């Protein structure tokens, strides 16, 4: 008994120290001077711009990586191309690389002096220190999530249901939309949530490629940092709170899409009390 | 001819799954593809369905050359060992799937699904999800789903393999009755010789990618073409150069000149039948199948010396 309570205390204490108390402190600090300063922070043009920029990055990176992720998982699991281990490792790279390195590598390729960046700058479409760079960096760091969530699900689901659909006359496209996607939708949903959360919170890579120009290339995370460095504490905390709320919203959205009926347990276990035949 | 397979070969890398197989399956028959695992029977079924592309040879279904046709256009119904139920759809939607792909009118689909639910005895379960059905019910749903599109041939890949013994026997008998009603050309893959004997009009026995023998179940049992067939379609003893079925090995208490001496090692009561495990003088073992009454008359017990005489033997020319 004592051991169990001891363990519980340690677990809850750990959570409180690293998670609950810091988050609560942000809420407390945000509202320490009342609602007035909070409202000012929320209506500040640089905040509004940062919010817009973050949402744009999310709105592009999440669908792009969802489509890429599902397609990539299908190829990896169903076709098993020769370079599968190499491809898997490459997809995991953004998880292992420091975001700062990601940012720098993007500057090297897409910057003014970069491989292809020069061409884009000459044609009036600069990538680095501009919105495309921020979107690109966000896509880079969030690339693995959907693939990594979908691959194991797809492997477990197998191909029987797809083959059954083909023999019943469904084309490959019909089979994908009506059979494969519903079967893997939970993997996709988790992948999308992780991608969104990471895209909202990305700092390092974006900080390098954006140039951190207030009202131009500042995302929410950079805005938090900038305001904090300038001792605009309420603005920093307010922005941090907005980021947290967006993350919570993402989780809530996923719960809304939960299935309305209970799913089959994979395998052949029969429900108890069912007639034999 | 229902299905005609000509010189079909299928390789997976270095492994030859089917080795130049030719086979004709008559319209309306129920044929079992029987064989041990790795014999190529499932691959052959998948080649018929268009789920595998043969490396050589061709397949025609009801006279139509089908080798190049995708599975969607072959008019086949396929039932998988693990049901392949569409888990996110109700039983009704599962069965209606093929018809809704074909954009049939809603009223027609509803009537047809009702008909099929009755045919596979799942009346009233249409609104359930596959997870709420037992294994046997799921497999009958899968069968209804395959039959919904009125396939020219019905292909069953170890359909009862994942079910427990009792349900399997019930479903087998039910499938036989269903086939007598529906009469669609049916090919069933199984590794269970008893199942094949029980259900099929014709058995095609495969081994290592080739057909060892095909014919009526009784022909395979009584006139096996070779030792493999002899030993696969039922238990068998080897006495010198000849093969004997356990029920053709008579037991006596007295020698009569042509009998061999043997010692009873074990007596196994299987209800009406009794299996007697014997040790022969040359050190080989054999088993004899006698009725309960015979066993009682002989007062069989372990360690007893008996004399055996084969009443009917089979000999194969050395290949």
The alpha carbon torsion through B177, B168, A155, A251 (nearest 10 deg) reads: 90
Distance from CA of B171 to the nearest CA of A (A): 7
- The answer to whether residues B241 and B227 touch, using CB atoms and an 8 Å cutoff, is no
**pLDDT per residue over B264-282, tens digit each?**
999 999 888 999 999 988 8
8 Å CB contact of A262 and B84: no
Q: Which residue of B has its CA nearest to A181?
A: B88
Helix, coil or strand: residue B271: coil
8 Å CB contact of B137 and A277: yes
Pick from B82, B87, B136: CB nearest A277: B136
Distance CA A223, CA A216 (A): 11
**pLDDT per residue over B140-156, tens digit each?**
999 999 999 999 999 99
Classify residue A150 by burial, with Cβ atoms within 10 Å: 0-12, 13-18, 19+.
buried
Strands (E), chain B: 3-12, 15-25, 30-34, 56-61, 64-65, 76-79, 153-157, 185-190, 202-207, 210-215, 237-239, 242-244, 249-252, 260-270, 273-280, 285-291, 305-310
Lowest mean pLDDT among A73-82, B7-16, B310-319: B310-319
- The answer to whether residues B2 and B66 touch, using CB atoms and an 8 Å cutoff, is no
DSSP β-ladder status, B76-79 and B202-207: unpaired
B136 vs A: CB within 8 A: yes
Asked whether the CA dihedral A11, A12, A18, A23 is positive or negative, the reply is positive
pLDDT of amino acid A113? 82
pLDDT of amino acid A272? 38
**pLDDT per residue over B76-133, tens digit each?**
999 999 999 999 999 999 999 999 999 999 999 999 999 999 999 999 999 999 999 9
Distance CA B245, CA B263 (A): 18
Within 8 A of B152 by CB-CB distance, chain A residues are: none
8 Å CB contact of A166 and B131: no
Question: What are the average pLDDT values for consecutive 10-residue runs of chain A, which has 277 residues?
Answer: 81 89 88 88 92 95 96 93 89 90 90 82 85 93 94 94 96 96 92 93 91 86 92 91 90 72 44 39
**pLDDT per residue over B174-221, tens digit each?**
899 999 988 899 999 999 999 999 999 999 999 999 999 999 999 999
Within 8 A of B144 by CB-CB distance, chain A residues are: none
Q: What is the ipTM of this complex?
A: 0.88
Closest CA to B45 of B65, B62, B56, B59: B59
Q: What is the pTM of this model?
A: 0.84
- The answer to whether residues B264 and B276 touch, using CB atoms and an 8 Å cutoff, is yes
**What is the helix (H) or strand (E) element at residue A35, kind and residue range?**
helix A35-43
**pLDDT per residue over B112-124, tens digit each?**
999 999 999 999 9
Distance CA A149, CA B139 (A): 30
pLDDT of amino acid A273? 37
Classify residue A25 by burial, with Cβ atoms within 10 Å: 0-12, 13-18, 19+.
exposed
The residues in B 161-200 lying below 8 A from A, measured between CB atoms, are: 162, 166-167, 170-171, 174
Distance CA A168, CA B100 (A): 10
Residues forming beta bridges with residue B56, ordered by sequence position: B9
Closest CA to B174 of B187, B184, B160, B161: B160
**pLDDT per residue over B154-172, tens digit each?**
999 999 988 888 889 888 9
**pLDDT per residue over B231-253, tens digit each?**
999 899 988 788 899 999 989 88
pLDDT of amino acid A269? 38
Distance of CA A62 to the CA centre of its chain: 7
8 Å CB contact of B146 and A168: yes
The residues in A 144-183 lying below 8 A from B, measured between CB atoms, are: 160-161, 163-171, 174, 178-179, 182-183
Within 8 A of A174 by CB-CB distance, chain B residues are: 101
Main-chain dihedrals φ then ψ at residue B24, nearest 5 degrees: -120, 130
Q: Which of A169, A185, A265 to probe the B interface (max B CBs under 10 A)?
A: A169
Q: Which of B51, B131, B162 to probe the A interface (max A CBs under 10 A)?
A: B131
Distance CA B293, CA B274 (A): 9
| CA R_g for chain A | 23
- The answer to whether residues B64 and B83 touch, using CB atoms and an 8 Å cutoff, is no
8 Å CB contact of A276 and B170: yes
pLDDT of amino acid B149? 92
Closest CA to A200 of A275, A161, A142, A272: A142
Distance CA A112, CA B237 (A): 85
Closest CA to A32 of A246, A235, A226: A235
A268 vs B: CB within 8 A: yes
The residues in A 31-90 lying below 8 A from B, measured between CB atoms, are: none
pLDDT of amino acid A264? 44
Q: Which residue of B has its CA nearest to A275?
A: B134
Distance CA A134, CA A103 (A): 9
Secondary structure letter of residue B59 according to DSSP: E
Within 8 A of A165 by CB-CB distance, chain B residues are: 86, 97
Secondary structure letter of residue B89 according to DSSP: S
Neighbours of A183 (CB within 10 A): 20
């Amino acid at each position: 008994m004592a051991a169990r309570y001891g363990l519980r205390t340690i677990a809850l204490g750990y959570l409180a120290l690293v998670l609950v108390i810091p988050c609560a402190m942000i809420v407390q600090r945000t509202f320490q001077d009342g609602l007035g300063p909070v409202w000012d922070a929320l209506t500040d043009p640089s905040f509004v711009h940062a919010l817009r920029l973050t949402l744009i990055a999310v709105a592009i990176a999440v669908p792009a990586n969802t489509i890429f992720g599902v397609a990539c998982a299908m190829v990896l699991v169903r076709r098993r191309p020769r370079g599968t281990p190499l491809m898997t490792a490459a997809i995991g790279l953004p998880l292992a690389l420091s975001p700062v390195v990601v940012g720098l590598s993007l500057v090297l390729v897409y910057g003014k002096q970069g491989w292809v960046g020069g061409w884009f700058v000459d044609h009036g479409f600069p990538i680095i220190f501009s919105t495309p760079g921020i979107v690109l960096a966000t896509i880079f760091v969030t690339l693995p999530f959907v693939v990594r969530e979908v691959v194991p699900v797809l492997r477990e689901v197998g191909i029987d249901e797809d083959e059954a659909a083909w023999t019943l006359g469904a084309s490959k496209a019909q089979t994908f939309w009506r059979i494969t996607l519903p079967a893997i939708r939970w993997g996709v949903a988790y992948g999308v949530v992780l991608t969104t959360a990471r895209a909202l919170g990305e700092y390092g890579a974006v900080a390098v490629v954006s140039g951190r120009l207030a009202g131009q290339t500042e995302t929410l995370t950079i805005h938090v940092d900038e305001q904090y460095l300038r001792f605009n504490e309420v603005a920093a905390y307010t922005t941090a709170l907005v980021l947290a709320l967006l993350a919570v919203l993402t989780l809530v959205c996923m719960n809304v899409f939960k299935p309305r009926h209970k799913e089959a347990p994979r395998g052949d276990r029969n429900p108890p009390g069912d007639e034999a035949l | 001819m229902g299905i005609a397979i000509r010189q079909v070969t299928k390789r997976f890398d270095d492994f030859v799954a089917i080795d130049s197989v030719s086979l004709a399956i008559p319209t309306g028959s129920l044929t079992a593809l029987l064989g041990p695992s790795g014999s190529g029977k499932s691959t052959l079924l998948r080649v018929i369905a268009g789920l595998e592309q043969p490396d050589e040879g061709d397949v025609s279904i009801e006279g139509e050359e089908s080798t190049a046709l995708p599975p969607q256009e072959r008019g086949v119904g396929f039932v998988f060992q693990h049901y392949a139920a569409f888990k996110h759809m109700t039983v009704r939607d599962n069965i209606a799937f093929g018809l809704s792909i074909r954009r049939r009118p809603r009223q027609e689909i509803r009537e047809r699904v009702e008909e099929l639910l009755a045919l596979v005895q799942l009346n009233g379960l249409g609104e359930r999800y596959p997870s709420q059905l037992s294994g046997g019910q799921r497999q009958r749903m899968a069968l209804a789903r395959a039959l919904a599109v009125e396939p020219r041939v019905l292909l069953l890949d170890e359909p009862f393999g994942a079910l427990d013994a009792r349900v399997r026997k019930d479903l087998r008998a039910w499938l036989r009755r269903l086939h007598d009603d529906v009469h669609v050309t049916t090919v069933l893959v199984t590794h269970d010789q008893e199942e094949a004997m029980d259900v099929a009009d014709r058995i095609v026995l495969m081994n290592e990618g080739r057909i060892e023998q095909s014919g009526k179940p009784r022909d395979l049992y009584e006139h096996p073409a070779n030792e493999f067939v002899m030993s696969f379609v039922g238990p068998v003893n080897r006495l010198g150069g000849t093969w004997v079925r356990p029920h053709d090995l008579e037991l006596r208490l007295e020698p009569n000149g042509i009998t061999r001496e043997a010692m009873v090692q074990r007596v196994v009561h299987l209800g009406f039948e009794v299996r007697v495990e014997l040790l022969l003088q040359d050190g080989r073992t054999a088993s004899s199948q006698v009725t309960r009454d015979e066993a009682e008359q002989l007062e069989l017990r372990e360690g007893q010396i008996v004399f055996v005489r084969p009443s009917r033997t089979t000999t194969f020319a050395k290949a």
